Structure 1
Amino acid sequence: MERSSNAISRRPMPGLCRHSCYLGLLIFLAGIVPLWGWCSREDSTAALSALRARVQALVEQLQQRARVGVLVSDVAGRRYFEHGAEQLLVPASVTKLFWSVAALAVLGDSAVIRTALYADALPRADGTLSGNLYLVGGGDALLTVQELEELAAQLVRRGVRRITGAVLGDGTLFDGQRTRLQYSGDSDPVEPLPPITALGFNRNEVRVLVSATGRRVTAQTIPVSPGFVVDVSGVRIRKGARRGRQRVVLSARSVMRRGVQYIVVSGWIAARGTWSLGVPMEKPEVAAAATLVQRLRAAGIRVEGGFGEGKCPPGATLLGLWERPLAELLAAVNKESDNFVAEHLFKLLGARAAGSGTHAERARRLLQALLSRWGIPCQGCALWDGSGLSRRNRVSAADVVGMLRAVFQLPIADALCRSLSIAGVDGTLKQRLQQTQAQARVWAKTGTLRNASALAGYVLTADGDPLVFAILSFGVVSRAKALEDSLVATLARFSFCGAGTQSR
């Protein structure tokens, strides 16, 4: 029997999720899914009615104590289900989808984020580098000590043995707003983040290890660097503390003195053991330069001018380069919902955007222009930060689905999908939707704040058809995750032939 002419049209997933979404597509291509093309008009109509009834029942449970916006559509825009789809709600970390899409659209899916070494001149034949060495940050939030060591090794391979000037950290790619609260529109830190800087490393945090042996208290930093000095004179040893009871109370404060971060630790510890304390870097640019100096010296390069902060001059000579694929940052942002990396991505977009104002303002204008180009009015939308921690962020389920539908038609669709969590497989969805038909067939971004929950992305139905969905809720959301999962699992079971739409 031929499929009814007025049945909902669908488009296969050409190219989308070719890599990270391969499990669902293999099922589809292997022919394990039902042959929807043979379904009658009556079957299709009844199946869609059953789907809507099931989803409506789940939404009614969710909205008992929360405001809810839900939209499910096919990639052509035909709406399968909607409830409060136009109302503006707090998207939490679903905010990250907007900035990820903007980064892919502006920078390209093959973009790399560069951290570079420049010098005032080429090294001489005797290995002397006259003048300063500049460590220039490109917004890489994942830069590590090991990668600074690789930059030092690149200089060794170039034959550099002596630097007559200083090593200067350059983080001028980003503007002076270094904390999320400076641009997020709210005053609730939610999750304290280290400084957001174009040049930094070790997630802009130094780890202080405080040890006690008998009556002696010592400390060291990880990483080891001349940019940090630890004062433990305010730490006391409490005698008689037993294992199983609280044995340590430590706090730290920092102050910059002549380019060095002095970390003053106070509190008490037990007589034996080592304790770890994370401390935000006050000046990550200086700390990165100082740590590079330590690695250069360890590699046999003499640095005569110390370390500090400074802008790389025009025309400087490139001597070393570390490149990180944008895809690696996006995976951290979307699979792991990394707020620190997300804020760096937000600032990076602002730095790349044209116009005046702060980088946050420029990033918002850039995003609005992209959404307008794709026909998404996003009226009343407010996206204040990159991570979604701001409670002043507002979007609708229709806005989210509209953006995801637009991306589906673009070459960047694969790259976005590869960055998303796969249900029951990885990221923030690893422990969700396991042993359901949705496992390995849902690629989505989660969102969680106090009183807010969200889930948005793509799902393959039992017929192998891609659907786009967004679920936003605000209020008492203690049951939201379970209901989100039930709703998405229902979509994954859906078939126009009628099988699989019942609750299980």
Structure 2
Amino acid sequence: MPTSTPNPAQIPAISQPAPVATVMAPQPPVGEWMAAARLGPAQASFFVQEVGTGSPWVDINARGAQNPASLMKLLTTYAALESLGPAATFRTTVWATGQRSGGGDGGRLVGNLYIRGGGDPALTIEDFWALLRQVRLQGIREIRGDIVLDRSLYNLPDSDPNAFDGEGLRAYNVGPDALLIGFKSVRFAFALDETQKQWVVTADPKPPRMRIDANVAATAGPCGEWRSQLTMNFEPEVNPPRASFGGRIPAACANTDLYRALFLPDRYLATVVRQIWEDSGGVLTGGVKAGEVPADARFLADGSSRPVAELIRDINKRSNNVMARMLMLNLAAYAPKPSGTPVDAPSGPPVPKPQQPVGLAEARMALTSALAARGLSFPELVVDNGSGLSRQERISAANLGRVLLAAWASPNMPDYIASLPLVGVDGTMRRRLQGSAVTGYAHIKTGTLRDSRGIAGYVVGSSGRRYVVVSIINGEGAATAQSVHDQLLAWVRDRG
């Protein structure tokens, strides 16, 4: 099964394969919808099948390989839920070398403190503070040595955050890291100063000496897409670094925030780790640097991630790219035992040396193997990073439908479906089809790239029957595809 980057010239045309299953009337008027959206028929695929049945109801251009965008997360989250189990967690551990002296709250460690990342894809600033608080509660206040960060679980090449689309500051371009703290992003909080009719901007965590210049007016009117009215400029190389904000935000937005990945990982982690240790009352005489936990290190503390069943909700509802990429890596890092028993990764007492580091090749193989073990082998499947933030990933609408049908038949079905956005209610579908007959009756994952739009999930028909629905539209005009997809969902809800 292919897992490498394809040559675009080798990708089969979407329109050439004919449907292989007998379909049932009536059929959706996709030609009319596509014409109204000024989209060509060869750009789109449509697949609808009632769960528990053997053949599709709608099968239009659904057999050719397409770029699914973030619909790829449906494969990654399904494989993790099935292979690792809904209760699996990922642990961040703390170790020490050297001698301890002093007592009470004023003890010191004459040696190094080691923090090893276990691939927790949602390790927040608050979680990390609580982890270091465990160390402080053991009486260690001063570290006469270094804090050493062990991120060796993943073996990944350095990546350029600007490489995908030139938007390196955007949080969706953050790359995987075995010790991902706060999504490697700075949170800019906007608080309304009603007397001045201006927005006050603060940063958390705030890099040392960083200057924030804000001239953001508070205006009348509904909140809407306030980010489009805001301008930001970041100058990391000036002394001190400066973040500047301008534009306007409606006062109706109340207090809101914005996340930006300002610095490369090493600089960000060094800043955040030192800041959180010192905020907890600790003293560090050395620095924060990279390294690995030595074999003679002593275990001090650990913290576990939320279970996989909860993590996949953030991944699918919010379409979180870095969490999906790390979950695919964790499929390889925490492969289940040969018996297939779900794992709580890792289980048992910590050991100084973890398993061998994993890279993208191992992660791609782990994902495709997990699917194949459940009868889901797809000749056209191309896996890149498992998140859909890729120009290379490919799958057909029909085979993505097969994944959703398999998930419906799984004991883990409730957790999987609950991870998908509820139309008109939450996630990336919260503002779509609000107040329509579809609101609350469909769990739909969305996919969005410049030249790709997709929907995939489950719709409850007016008869009470449930249907898997998949549609992918590729091409330069894909940005106008939302109307087509919304009409498809309404059509299945009405006719199903």
- TM-score (norm. length: structure 2): 0.72
CA distance in 2, matches of 1:412, 1:208: 37
Does 2:50 correspond to 1:74? yes
Structure 2 counterpart of 1:140: 120
2:68 to 88, 91, 97: 91
What aligned pairs does 1:318-397 form with structure 2 within 5 A after superposition? 318-325=299-306, 326-352=308-334, 359-397=359-397
Alpha-carbon contact 1:353-1:363 (below 8 Å) kept: no
Q: Residues 452 and 176 of structure 1: is their aligned pair in 2 closer, same or farther, counting only changes over 3 Å? A: closer
Alpha-carbon contact 1:190-1:389 (below 8 Å) kept: no
Does 2:297 correspond to 1:313? no
Alpha-carbon contact 1:417-1:443 (below 8 Å) kept: yes
CA distance in 2, matches of 1:249, 1:426: 27
Structure 2 counterpart of 1:49: 25
**CA displacement at 1:295 relative to structure 2:** 3.2
What aligned pairs does 1:247-266 form with structure 2 within 5 A after superposition? 250-254=233-237, 264-265=241-242
Q: More displaced, 331-340 or 306-315?
A: 306-315
CA distance in 2, matches of 1:145, 1:194: 16
**CA displacement at 1:159 relative to structure 2:** 2.5
**CA displacement at 1:109 relative to structure 2:** 0.9
Give deviations 1:161-205, integer Å, cap 9, x for gaps: 3333221111111113243779xxx86557752343111323213
Structure 2 counterpart of 1:281: 263
SS state at 2:90 partner? strand
2:155 to 165, 175, 179: 175
CA distance in 2, matches of 1:437, 1:95: 27
CA distance in 1, matches of 2:285, 2:488: 64
Larger CA Rg, structure 1 vs 2 = 1
Amino acid at match of 2:153: L
Alpha-carbon contact 1:290-1:308 (below 8 Å) kept: no
Q: Residues 243 and 399 of structure 1: is their aligned pair in 2 closer, same or farther, counting only changes over 3 Å? A: closer
CA distance in 2, matches of 1:207, 1:252: 17
**How many residues are matched?**
417
Does 2:88 correspond to 1:106? no
Alpha-carbon contact 2:84-2:335 (below 8 Å) kept: no
**CA displacement at 1:307 relative to structure 2:** 2.3
Amino acid at match of 1:338: N
Structure 1 counterpart of 2:274: 293
Q: Residues 417 and 303 of structure 1: is their aligned pair in 2 closer, same or farther, counting only changes over 3 Å? A: same
SS state at 1:135 partner? strand
Structure 2 counterpart of 1:500: none
**CA displacement at 1:425 relative to structure 2:** 0.9
Q: Residues 444 and 316 of structure 1: is their aligned pair in 2 closer, same or farther, counting only changes over 3 Å? A: farther
- TM-score (norm. length: structure 1): 0.71
Amino acid at match of 1:281: F
Q: More displaced, 122-131 or 408-417?
A: 122-131
CA distance in 2, matches of 1:441, 1:243: 37
SS state at 1:370 partner? helix
SS state at 2:369 partner? helix
Give deviations 1:214-266, integer Å, cap 9, x for gaps: xxxxx9964246xx56599xx9x9xxxx999x9998442459xxxxxx86559
1:150 to 118, 130, 136: 130
Q: Residues 315 and 464 of structure 1: is their aligned pair in 2 closer, same or farther, counting only changes over 3 Å? A: farther
Q: Residues 197 and 53 of structure 1: is their aligned pair in 2 closer, same or farther, counting only changes over 3 Å? A: closer
Amino acid at match of 1:329: L
CA distance in 1, matches of 2:28, 2:276: 63
Does 2:92 correspond to 1:115? yes
Q: Which runs of 5+ in 2 are unaligned?
A: 1-22, 190-200, 220-228, 248-257, 337-354
SS state at 1:161 partner? strand
Q: Residues 366 and 94 of structure 1: is their aligned pair in 2 closer, same or farther, counting only changes over 3 Å? A: same
SS state at 1:391 partner? coil
What aligned pairs does 1:192-207 form with structure 2 within 5 A after superposition? 193-206=173-186
Structure 1 counterpart of 2:205: 223
Amino acid at match of 1:80: W
Amino acid at match of 2:282: I
Structure 2 counterpart of 1:408: 408
Structure 2 counterpart of 1:482: 483
Alpha-carbon contact 2:452-2:479 (below 8 Å) kept: no
Q: Which runs of 5+ in 1 are unaligned?
A: 1-46, 210-218, 256-261, 271-275, 496-504
What aligned pairs does 1:2-41 form with structure 2 within 5 A after superposition? none
SS state at 2:87 partner? coil
Does 2:136 correspond to 1:159? no
State the identity %: 27
Structure 2 counterpart of 1:13: none
**CA displacement at 1:410 relative to structure 2:** 1.6
**CA displacement at 1:474 relative to structure 2:** 1.2
CA distance in 2, matches of 1:329, 1:347: 14
CA distance in 1, matches of 2:370, 2:116: 29
Q: Residues 372 and 60 of structure 1: is their aligned pair in 2 closer, same or farther, counting only changes over 3 Å? A: farther
Give deviations 1:313-336, integer Å, cap 9, x for gaps: 235333222322134432222111
Amino acid at match of 1:410: S
SS state at 2:303 partner? strand
